[in-house]
Amino acid sequence: MLNPGRGIDEHGRLNTSTHAELLIVDEADRLKVGALEQLRDHHDRTGIGLILIGMPGIEKRLARYPQLYSRVGFVHHYKPMSADEQAFVLARSWPHLSLGDADDYATTEALAAITRITSGNFRLTVRLVGQIERVLKINNMSTVTKEVVEAARKNLVIGSM
């Protein structure tokens, strides 16, 4: 893979640029073999960095294609966030929701509901927060409560609860 700030370019000169080109593919586990082969070929021809994001097990699927798998630098499994990590992320990523006040009972209840519903899954947390913002706006509210979180959950397709 391309190493930002270092390396030798196609003319044998030292590359000292401060940036790297990077292609990020989300839901890569849904790609067919032909699309994966095109990504491999593009990486080989351009040297562009490539990040494939997918569901658990994607590395096993890629292992069946040695020409692609031989280029995999590493695999990282993201673990669910703990309740404390989730509270930290919510308070800092969405400060306008005022979910950083651990002394407020309504906030504590709302955080507990978010953690229970999402099980620490970051992607689901982002989707749920989007729905929470929507519920607040529609109802002209400014405080996130357990009831607001539950109303937002009802608008998501996340499986049985």
Instruction: Give 69's pLDDT tier (boundaries 50, 70, 90).
Output: confident
Rounded CA gap, 101 and 49, in Å? 40
Average pLDDT taken over every residue of the chain: 84
pLDDT tens, residue by residue, 70-89: 888 888 888 899 999 999 99
Listed ranges 5-9, 66-70, 128-132; the one with the highest mean pLDDT:
128-132
Q: Are 118 and 125 in contact (CB under 8 A)?
A: yes
Residue 161 lies in a domain: no
- List all residues 6 or more positions away from 124 whose beta carbon is below 8 Å from its beta carbon: 117, 118, 156, 158
Count of structural domains, the chain: 2
Question: Could you give the percent of the chain with pLDDT greater than 90?
Answer: 38
Asked whether the whole model's pTM tops 0.75, one would answer no
The number of beta carbons lying within 10 Å of the beta carbon of residue 152 is 23
Instruction: Give 18's pLDDT tier (boundaries 50, 70, 90).
Output: low
Average confidence (pLDDT) over 40-60: 87
- The residue segments making up the domain with residue 8 are 1-77
Q: Tokens for 87, please give them.
A: 């509270």
Residue 159 lies in a domain: no
Whether residue 73 sits in one domain with residue 89: no
Helical (H) or strand (E) element with 110: helix 105-118
Whether residue 67 sits in one domain with residue 22: yes
